[in-house]
Chain A
């Protein structure tokens, strides 16, 4: 195949994606991504030099509204979904000493 994904690339993508893959998963991911990119490379056949990249199909942009809170206080219910909570706050691992 044309696209060979290196160990470094898959390591880097793992950092971006915040995923920790096992050795076997890494090999599988390298093969899968290579095959998929080979396929996506087909887009290179098209001349897109005159085309503008299109995100929203109808060109809707900058939808503003006033910054007003309309929903009620759902703090308690929201915290029930948290893996860890204390005193009305989420518990996260320590990030600095």
Chain B
């Protein structure tokens, strides 16, 4: 059995037992990248220089017993919107085409301190704005299951890299579904944690009240262990929370007896693909077979989540992206007259169409005269949506539904109609508005062979409930396989 067929936890176990080395794992991943990434284009930057020296250093620390964690020696990928000291960090934008951070994002630092080997930086939608990884200034990533399809987005490079065996696990970020939806499209597992669980320090901000970093991996256990590794209270992120209950792997118990699972009727209505519906309901029945109690219910306000989300996200984006002014870092236009024209031309040339669209909308909804009608209104609707989930979680441990209404769309078809693309986020954006944790894991394939994602949603701080349910379902489902063969991919 080749190393690439192992999960992250299996690999670190073998390294610990002396059956494999970090250098062998790194070499296997590099070879796979050389073989496949010219097709899939999961990476913007592969940090090949000095990789073997770094691998050998980690190997030494493992042998001396200085590194004992589950990610010691595991090659991982990082979405290119997280700062990595000395390593190009582009956010998939021309604006940051030459940006070399002077510090490393806290979540990445946690991973490095645990002995993970960062292989490189993955492709994404520009500034994480998009659902297909097609808005990247560096070309689109292709879905390893079918290179005519998108990998999803915005963490499309991370999800595709895990599916293709170009890393063992990856970090993504999720503002409106950007971890869960690409995980769904690529047949891998992704978790968006409760807001504030993982430090956002060093994550290039899009919508600060919504952004959260999380793991993408081959199975639920890898994701639980990765989340456990990166979760931390961080003084440098004033929105991070002190939590005592981040021992997420303790929830890998394969026991859902008596667990109350709510199924919102609104998540199975118009717009949901029939094959997706069938696969997700089958997954629900598998959990019922293990002793979970299913109940349908009405989750109110579902149709208001997307307009509220895009108002808030655009508003925050317009404010966050003000910093790109062509002075301190990033792109500066060649010809200009005076300071203001330099700002305007640099930004207009440096940002892509989708980013400009959201900055314009955000500037508008925050402008005097429209602030109350749009931005403040959206913040009030957010409060109502949070309340609707509070009511649901008074009755249920977990909410179950699809991650996305369809499987991965064909490349080149989504960007022409932005609103239609935004509607694909219907089942994921609410969790960002309400700060809730959610997990996506594969639960079947459509008639074209494309993976279908099951989403499990928990109340705030209740990651363990969704990890418990996901792990139990995964055990019932059996190995899912991957695009490179039955033994690769999701376990």
Residues of A near any B CB (own CB < 8 A): 9-10, 12-14, 16-21, 25, 29, 32-33, 35-37, 39-46, 48, 51-58, 60, 63, 65, 71, 74, 77-78, 80-84, 90, 92-95
Known contacts A43-B311, A58-B195; decide if A19 and B336 are in contact (CB<8 Å): no
**Contact of B304 (CB < 8 Å), options: A43, A52, A81:** A43
B103 partner residues in chain A, CB cutoff 8 A:
71, 74
| A80 CB contacts on chain B under 8 angstroms | 100
- Distance in angstroms from A71 CB to nearest chain B CB is 7
Distance to closest chain B CB from A55 (angstroms)? 6
Distance between Cα atoms of A53 and B366 in the complex (Å): 14
Q: Does B435 contact A (CB under 8 A)?
A: yes
B376 touches A60 (CB 8 A): no
Encode contact with A along B327-367: 1 for CB under 8 Å, 0 otherwise.
11111100010111111110110010000110111111111
* Known interface pairs A18-B325, A57-B460, A58-B196; 13 further A-B residue pairs with C-beta atoms within 8 A, sorted by A's residue number: A16-B363, A16-B364, A17-B359, A19-B348, A20-B347, A32-B360, A36-B310, A40-B307, A42-B307, A43-B377, A74-B102, A84-B332, A93-B339
Tell me if B380 and A52 are in contact (CB < 8 A): yes
Report the minimum CB–CB distance from A45 to chain B (whole Å).
Answer: 8
* A7 CB → nearest B CB, Å: 14
Segment from B235-243, B274-282, B463-471 that makes contact with A? B235-243
Which B residues from 443 to 472 make CB contacts under 8 A with A? 460
| Interface range, B side | 35 or more
Interface stretch (choices B9-17, B33-41, B382-390): B382-390
Residues of chain B contacted by A37 (CB below 8 angstroms): 364, 374
B308 at the interface (CB under 8 A from A): yes
Question: Could you tell me if A13 and B367 are in contact, using CB atoms closer than 8 angstroms?
Answer: yes
The answer to whether the Cβ of B403 comes within 8 Å of any Cβ in the partner chain is no
Nearest neighbor of A32 in chain B, beta-carbon distance: B357
Docked-complex contact A53 and B376, CB < 8 angstroms: yes
Which A residues are in CB contact (< 8 Å) with B359? Answer: 17, 19
Q: Using A53-B380, A58-B435, A83-B330 as known contacts, say yes or no to A19 and B356 having CB atoms under 8 A apart.
A: yes
Across the interface, name the chain B residue whose C-beta is closest to A93.
B339
The answer for the CA separation of A77 and B307 in the assembled complex, in Å, is 41
**Ranked 5 nearest A-B pairs via Cβ:** A57-B435, A53-B379, A83-B332, A81-B329, A48-B380
The residues of B that contact A95 with a CB separation of less than 8 Å are 338-339
- The complex places the Cα of A44 from the Cα of B308 at a distance, in Å, of 11
Which chain B residues lie closer than 8 Å to A25 at the CB level? 356
The answer for the CA separation of A21 and B351 in the assembled complex, in Å, is 12
Tell me the smallest distance from the CB of B58 to a CB of chain A, in Å. 25
Q: Does B296 interact with chain A (Cβ within 8 Å)?
A: no
Kindly provide the distance from the CB of B338 to the nearest chain A CB, expressed in whole angstroms.
Answer: 6
| B419 touching A13, Cβ below 8 Å | no
Distance in angstroms from A52 CB to nearest chain B CB is 6
Contact with A along B88-102 (1 / 0, CB 8 A): 000000000011101
Give B contacts to A, CB under 8 Å: 98-100, 102-103, 195-196, 209, 235, 238-239, 241, 301, 303-304, 306-308, 310-311, 318, 322, 325-332, 336, 338-345, 347-348, 351, 356-357, 359-367, 374, 376-384, 386, 418-419, 433-435, 460
How far is it, in angstroms, between the C-alpha of A70 and the C-alpha of B196 when the chains are bound? 22
Bound complex: CA A67 to CA B327 (Å): 26
Question: Which one of B344, B360, B378 has the greatest number of beta carbons of chain A within 10 Å?
Answer: B360
Q: Is the interface of B mostly helix, strand, loop or mixed?
A: helix
**Which residues of chain B come closer than 8 Å to A55, judged between CB atoms?**
209, 379
In the complex the two chains form, is B357's CB within 8 Å of A29's CB?
A: yes
CB contact between B374 and one of A40, A56, A74, A93 (< 8 Å): that residue:
A40
What are 13 inter-chain pairs, A to B, with CB distance below 8 A?
A: A13-B360, A14-B360, A16-B363, A18-B322, A18-B340, A19-B359, A29-B356, A57-B435, A74-B102, A74-B103, A81-B98, A83-B327, A90-B328
Q: How far is the CB of A60 from chain B (nearest CB, A)?
A: 6
Q: How far is the CA of A44 from the CA of B376 in the complex (A)?
A: 12
> Chain B nearest CB: distance from A27 CB in Å?
13
- Would you call B311 and A20 a contact (CB within 8 A)? no
Contact A18 B347 (CB under 8 A): yes
Instruction: Check A58–B327 contact: CB distance below 8 A.
Output: no
Q: Is the CB of B384 within 8 A of A81?
A: no
Residues of A within 8 Å of B376, CB to CB, are 53
A87 CA to B312 CA in the complex, in Å?
A: 41
The answer to whether B384 and A48 touch across the interface, beta carbons within 8 angstroms, is yes
Taking a contact as CB atoms under 8 Å apart, the answer to whether B328 and A81 are in contact is yes
B310 and A40 contact, CB distance less than 8 A: yes
**Residues on the B chain within 8 Å of A65, using CB:** 235
How far apart are the CA atoms of A14 and B435 in the complex, in Å?
Answer: 32
Q: A54-B386, A93-B339 given as contacts; is B381 within 8 A of A46 (CB)?
A: yes
Specify the chain A residue showing the minimal Cβ separation from B316: A55
Residue from A13, A48, A92 within 8 A of B364 (CB atoms): A13
- Report if A48-B377 is in contact (Cβ < 8 Å); known contacts: A81-B99, A83-B332, A90-B327: yes
CB distance A43 to B209 under 8 Å?
A: no
Residue of B whose beta carbon sits closest to that of A75: B102
Q: A35 touching B435 by the CB < 8 A rule? A: no
Residue contact A57 to B386, C-beta cutoff 8 Å? yes
Q: Which residues of A contact B460 (CB under 8 A)?
A: 57-58
* Interfacial chain A residues near B381, Cβ < 8 Å: 43, 46, 48, 51
